[in-house]
Amino acid sequence: MSDHELGDLELTGRLLTASNATFIGHLDDATVVYKPVAGERPLWDFPDGTLAGREIASFLVSQVFGGDIVPRTWWGEGPHGPGMLQQWCEPDPDDEAVTLVPADPRVGRSVPDGWCHVLDGVDADDQLVSLVHEDSLALRRMAVFDLITNNADRKGGHVLAMSDGHRYGVDHGLTFHVEHKVRTVLWGWIDQPLTDDEVAGVAQVRTALDGDLSTSLSDLISPDEIGALRTRCEELLANPVFPAPRGPMPAVPWPPF
């Protein structure tokens, strides 16, 4: 669905836990998320553009990168003005790709088979816990996507575990900054080489930035941000390995869920 194919958006609810105005509504026969630009709270470290623009830019990059990571996202008009519209994806309530597990005090952690350890801490009851995520190709691809888009807010709740095993990533308003700002819960593959398929996805984005992708992104993010995206792709292609956190800023968003 494109912004030229929109019917009337009927709002049915609001996500009160979101930091910016976020609504649920019906558009024709589809359920969508609506984030109006008028409801955005300015961020001191993301002064340029809009959160909605970066969300749409993330979708466009994901389409080139492959893996169907970001649900369909587009510009649209709603009761509160222009903003981002995104296909609603209902996750499986009995499935999760990122979680907390009790840590074994004798060894400091307890990681289930098929999962990756990220960090240890204490929960609200002062019990030792470990933050873990599944070791899957779908989640690895999302982690690589976050590296090239410079995602500063990959919380556990921003990973939607679908009943068919697919994993969607949502909430990409804090992306594409020219400075390194990667904050994510998906740090479980540090120093592991990228797969050939992951490298190919990065190369596809880099190549597309010499053509139509740059043109499409130019209305959504700044020229400097497009240039930084190109540079991140080139650096990852030159050294196709999952990097470790770097820089002075926290490596994991707070709260992590």
- What's the pTM? 0.92
* Residue at a domain's end among 133, 158, 184: 133
Which stretches of the chain are DSSP H helices?
51-65, 137-149, 196-208, 212-217, 223-238
Quick one: average pLDDT of 53-57?
Answer: 97
Q: Are residues 69 and 17 in the same domain?
A: yes
Structural domain including 87 reads 1-97+136-257
Q: For residue 122, what pLDDT is reported? A: 86
How would residue 120 be classed by pLDDT, with cut points 50, 70 and 90?
confident
Rounded distance, CA 60 to CA 58, Å?
5
CA distances, 186 to each of 29, 38, 160 (Å): 34, 31, 14
Rounded distance, CA 10 to CA 163, Å?
27
Q: Are residues 78 and 22 in the same domain?
A: yes
Q: Are residues 108 and 39 in the same domain?
A: no
**Predicted confidence (pLDDT) per residue in 88-99, tens digit:** 999 999 999 999
* Residue at a domain's end among 133, 159, 191: 133
Q: Are residues 129 and 140 in the same domain?
A: no
Q: In the block, which residue shows the tokens 């709270």? A: 41
Q: What are phi and psi of 200, to 5 degrees?
A: -60, -40
* Pair 76, 6: CB distance under 8 Å: yes
Q: For residue 252, what pLDDT is reported? A: 93
Quick one: average pLDDT of 198-221?
Answer: 97
Lowest mean pLDDT among 47-51, 53-57, 146-150, 191-195: 47-51
Q: Regarding predicted confidence, which is higher, 124 or 205?
A: 205
**3-state SS, residue 197:** helix
Q: For residue 1, what pLDDT is reported? A: 38
Dihedral of CA atoms 135, 70, 225, 198 in degrees, nearest 10, equals 40
Q: In the block, which residue shows the tokens 């697919």? A: 166
Q: Are residues 175 and 102 in the same domain?
A: no
**Predicted confidence (pLDDT) per residue in 158-176, tens digit:** 999 999 999 999 999 999 9
Q: Regarding predicted confidence, which is higher, 122 or 228?
A: 228
Q: Are residues 167 and 177 in the same domain?
A: yes
Assigned token pair, 9? 């958006």
Q: For residue 5, what pLDDT is reported? A: 45
* Pair 79, 85: CB distance under 8 Å: no
Q: Are residues 89 and 196 in the same domain?
A: yes
Q: Are residues 105 and 208 in the same domain?
A: no
* Residue at a domain's end among 77, 106, 133: 133
Q: How many domains does the chain have?
A: 2
Q: What are phi and psi of 120, to 5 degrees?
A: -115, 155
Rounded distance, CA 63 to CA 51, Å?
19
Q: Are residues 179 and 218 in the same domain?
A: yes
Q: For residue 46, what pLDDT is reported? A: 81
Quick one: average pLDDT of 231-256?
Answer: 94
Q: Are residues 53 and 63 in the same domain?
A: yes
Quick one: average pLDDT of 114-120?
Answer: 92
> Quick one: CA dihedral 209, 215, 221, 223, positive or negative?
positive
Q: Are residues 144 and 201 in the same domain?
A: yes
Residue 126: is it exposed, middle or buried by C-beta count within 10 angstroms (0-12/13-18/19+)? exposed
Residues 6+ apart with CB under 8 A from 114: 134, 135
CA 141 to mean position of chain CA atoms: 11
CA 119 to mean position of chain CA atoms: 20
Closest C-alpha among 33, 17, 15, 35 to residue 25: 33
Q: Are residues 38 and 153 in the same domain?
A: yes
Residues 6+ apart with CB under 8 A from 91: 160, 161, 162, 168
